[in-house]
C-alpha cells in the first residue's frame, strides 16, 4: 500500500514511523519552509507540488492508494489542495489534527478569527488589564506568517519564530527558538520582557502549551486565533493511533 503523508508535524513523524514498521510504503511530503528539518522514517520529498494540478499529477504518477493530511492545523491551503486532488484522482483522504486547547480555571482567553482580528483587539485595548494608552507589551507566538498584521499596533512586541521572516521585521524584537518549551522557562521569558498579553494560534498539543500555563500563573490575558475548520465530508482523527487504524482498515 502506498500512502502520501503530508507532514511537518510531530504527529506526522510518529505516524510515518509506525506505518513504515508495518510495511506501508510511506512518502512524507514536507513544505521545506523550516531550516534543519526533522526527517521522518520512510521516503521523503521536500517542496511544493505546484498547486492542485501538480499534486493530482503526482498522485497519479506514483499510484498512491491513500493520502493522510497531518500538516499543521493552520495549513489550510495544503488541506484544500489535498481535498481537491484526492477527489480528482479518486483516492481516500484522512485528516489527522491534534485537538485544540481548552481554557481552564484562571484562564483569560479572547478569541479572534484571523491575525488581523487579533491585532484589532490589541489596538482597541479591550483585552488588556492596564488602562488604554499604557505601555503594554505583547508576546507574539504565531510563527512567521501573519506577523505583518501586528506591525501597526503601536505596542512593544516580542515575536518568537523558528526561522527569521523575510524580510526581517524592524518593528518588533525577534526571538528565534524552537519548542518544546517548559513552564519555568516561559515564566522567566514573560517576566524578563514584562509581557502584558500573549497572542498565539490554537495549534494544540503539548510542545508549546507551556506558554498558556505561564500566562495563567501570571494572570495574563491571551488572544487565541481560531484554527480553520476541516472540510466537510472528510474523516478527521485526533490521534496517531486512530490514523494507523484507518490505514489498517484497508
Q: What is the pLDDT of residue 49?
A: 94
pLDDT for 63: 97
Q: What is the pLDDT of residue 198?
A: 97
pLDDT of residue 37: 67
The answer to the question of residue 17 being in a domain is yes
Matching residue, cell 494540478? 53
Residues 20 and 121 in one domain: no
pLDDT for residue 23 = 94
Q: Judge if 56 and 152 occupy the same domain.
A: no
Of 114, 139, 160, 143, which Cα lies nearest the Cα of 34? 143
> Residue 26 falls within a domain, yes or no?
yes
| 77 and 8 in a common domain | yes
Q: Are residues 24 and 84 in the same domain?
A: yes
What pLDDT is attached to residue 69? 98
Domain membership flag for residue 16: yes
Q: Is residue 104 part of a domain?
A: no
Q: Encode pLDDT of 88-114 as tens digits.
A: 999 999 999 999 999 999 999 999 999
Residues 125, 89 share a domain = no
Residue 195 maps to which CATH number?
A: 3.40.50.2300
Query: Does residue 63 belong to any structural domain of this protein?
Result: yes
CATH number of the domain enclosing 80: 3.40.50.720
* Co-location of 218 and 155 in the same domain: yes
CB 118 within 8 A of CB 149: yes
- Asked if residue 221 and residue 124 are part of one domain, the reply reads yes
What does the alpha-carbon distance between residue 174 and residue 230 come to, in Å, rounded to a whole number? Answer: 32
Residues 85 and 160 in one domain: no
**Domain span including residue 81:** 2-99+229-248
Query: Do 192 and 127 reside in the same domain of the chain?
Result: yes
Work out the burial of residue 60: count CB atoms within 10 Å of its CB; fewer than 13 is exposed, 13-18 middle, 19 or more buried.
Answer: middle
DSSP letter at 248 equals: H
Long-range CB contact pairs, 148-157, < 8 A, 24+ = 149/114, 149/115, 149/116, 149/118, 149/119, 150/115, 150/118, 150/119, 150/122, 150/199, 152/119, 153/119, 153/122, 153/123, 154/123, 155/122
The closest alpha carbon to 148, from 122, 172, 128, belongs to 172
| Residue 92 in domain | yes
Same domain, 175 and 234: no
Does residue 154 belong to any structural domain of this protein? yes
Q: Do residue 86 and residue 142 come from a single domain?
A: no
Q: Give a yes or no: residue 197 inside a domain.
A: yes
| Regions of the chain short of the pLDDT cut 70 | 32-37, 129-134
Structural domains in the chain (count): 2
Of 91, 43, 85, 89, the residue nearest 66 (C-alpha): 91
Is the same domain home to 85 and 153? Answer: no
Amino acid at each position: 500500500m502506498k500512502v502520501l503523508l503530508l507532514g511537518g508535524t510531530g504527529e506526522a513523524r510518529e505516524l510515518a514511523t509506525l506505518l513504515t514498521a508495518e510495511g506501508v510504503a510511506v512518502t512524507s511530503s514536507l513544505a521545506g519552509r523550516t531550516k534543519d528539518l526533522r526527517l521522518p522514517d520512510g521516503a521523503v520529498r521536500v517542496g511544493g507540488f505546484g498547486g492542485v494540478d501538480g499534486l493530482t499529477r503526482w498522485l497519479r504518477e506514483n499510484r498512491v492508494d491513500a493520502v493522510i493530511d497531518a500538516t499543521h492545523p493552520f495549513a489550510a491551503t495544503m488541506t484544500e489542495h489535498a481535498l481537491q486532488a484526492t477527489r480528482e484522482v479518486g483516492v481516500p483522504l484522512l485528516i489527522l489534527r491534534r485537538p485544540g486547547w481548552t481554557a481552564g480555571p484562571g484562564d483569560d482567553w479572547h478569541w479572534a478569527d484571523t491575525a488581523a482580528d487579533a491585532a484589532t483587539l490589541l489596538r482597541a485595548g479591550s483585552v488588556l488589564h492596564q488602562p488604554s494608552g499604557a505601555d503594554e507589551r505583547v508576546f507574539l507566538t504565531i510563527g512567521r506568517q501573519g506577523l505583518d498584521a501586528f506591525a501597526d499596533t503601536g505596542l512593544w512586541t516580542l515575536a518568537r519564530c523558528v526561522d527569521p521572516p523575510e524580510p526581517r521585521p524592524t518593528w518588533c524584537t525577534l526571538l528565534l527558538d524552537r519548542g518544546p518549551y517548559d513552564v519555568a522557562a516561559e515564566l522567566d521569558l514573560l517576566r524578563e520582557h514584562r509581557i502584558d498579553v500573549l497572542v498565539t494560534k490554537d495549534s494544540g498539543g503539548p510542545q508549546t502549551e507551556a506558554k498558556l500555563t505561564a500566562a495563567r500563573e501570571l494572570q495574563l490575558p491571551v488572544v487565541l486565533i481560531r484554527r480553520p475548520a476541516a472540510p466537510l465530508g472528510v474523516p478527521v482523527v485526533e490521534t496517531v493511533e486512530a490514523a494507523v487504524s484507518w490505514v489498517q482498515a484497508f
